Structure 1
Amino acid sequence: MTLRRLPLLPTALVLIAVAVMVRLGFWQLDRMHQKDALLVLYARNQALSSEALLLADKASREQTWFRHTTLDCKGAGMTRPMAGHNVQGQTGWAQWGKCYGPDGRTPVAEINYGWSTDPRAVAYGAGTVGGIIAPDGANGARVVSARPLPGLQPSAAPNPADMPNNHLSYAVQWFAFAATALVIYALALRKKMSSVA
Structure 2
Amino acid sequence: MKKVPIIATVVVVAAVAAMIALGIWQLQRAQWKDSLIAQYRAAETLPPIAFPAMAPGKSLPLFRRATGTCLRPAAHRAIAGANRAGDSGYAHIVHCVTGAEGPGMAVELGWSKDPQAKYQWTGGQVDGIIAPDRQQRIRLVALNAPPGLEPSALPSLDAIPQNHRMYAIQWFAFAAIAALIYGLALRKRWLGR
TM-score normalised by length of structure 2: 0.86
- The runs of 5 or more residues in structure 1 that have no matched partner are none
Q: Which residue of 2 aligns with 1:30?
A: 28
**RMSD of equivalent CA atoms:** 2.4
Q: Is the 8 A contact 1:134 1:158 kept in 2?
A: yes
Q: Which residue of 1 aligns with 2:78?
A: 81
Deviations 1:18-44 (A, max 9, x none): 111111101111111111111111111
Residue among 47, 50, 54 paired with 1:49:
47
CA distance in structure 1 between the partners assigned to 2:125 and 2:72 by the alignment = 11
Cα 1:19–1:109 shift into 2, 3 Å: farther
Larger % of helix: which? 1
Cα 1:139–1:24 shift into 2, 3 Å: farther
CA distance in structure 2 between the partners assigned to 1:23 and 1:147 by the alignment = 47
Q: Which residue of 2 aligns with 1:162?
A: 159
Deviations 1:51-90 (A, max 9, x none): 154242344243x100112223344345322221112222
Residue among 70, 92, 97 paired with 1:95:
92
> Is 1:113 aligned to residue 109 of structure 2?
yes
TM-score normalised by length of structure 1: 0.84
Q: Which residue of 1 aligns with 2:178?
A: 181
CA distance in structure 1 between the partners assigned to 2:73 and 2:48 by the alignment = 28
Q: Which residue of 1 aligns with 2:145?
A: 148
CA distance in structure 1 between the partners assigned to 2:169 and 2:125 by the alignment = 47
Q: Which residue of 2 aligns with 1:14?
A: 12
- The runs of 5 or more residues in structure 2 that have no matched partner are none
> Is 1:60 aligned to residue 58 of structure 2?
yes
Cα 1:185–1:55 shift into 2, 3 Å: farther
How high is the sequence identity, in percent, across the aligned residues?
A: 40
